[in-house]
Amino acid sequence: MPQHAQSTPVCRDCDGFATAAITTGARHQDGTRGTLRVTCPTCKGTGHATPAASFIRVGR
């Protein structure tokens, strides 16, 4: 399946993976892992680039 057609407004900063869960390595007292959820600041967690945002990233 095609992943990155040029017409697809996928965020160039995160490639569509707008939210990443990072394991800190620590565990909470209830046994669950401590994770940090990081949301892509470029697309605000949507995974899709706005036309303005993608235009900015093009020249990098």
Q: Name the nearest CA neighbour of 15 among 51, 38, 46.
A: 46
Could you tell me the smallest distance in angstroms from the CB atom of residue 6 to Zn ion? 17
Shortest distance, CB of residue 12 to Zn ion, whole angstroms? 8
The residue (of 29 and 42) whose beta carbon lies closer to Zn ion is 42
Q: How far apart are the first and last CA of the chain?
A: 27
Provide the pairing of β-strand 33-39 with 19-27. antiparallel
Q: What are the residues binding Zn ion (CB under 5 A)? A: 11, 13-14, 18, 40, 42-43
Nearest distance from C-beta of residue 11 to Zn ion, angstroms: 3
Shorter beta-carbon distance to Zn ion: residue 33 or 44: 44
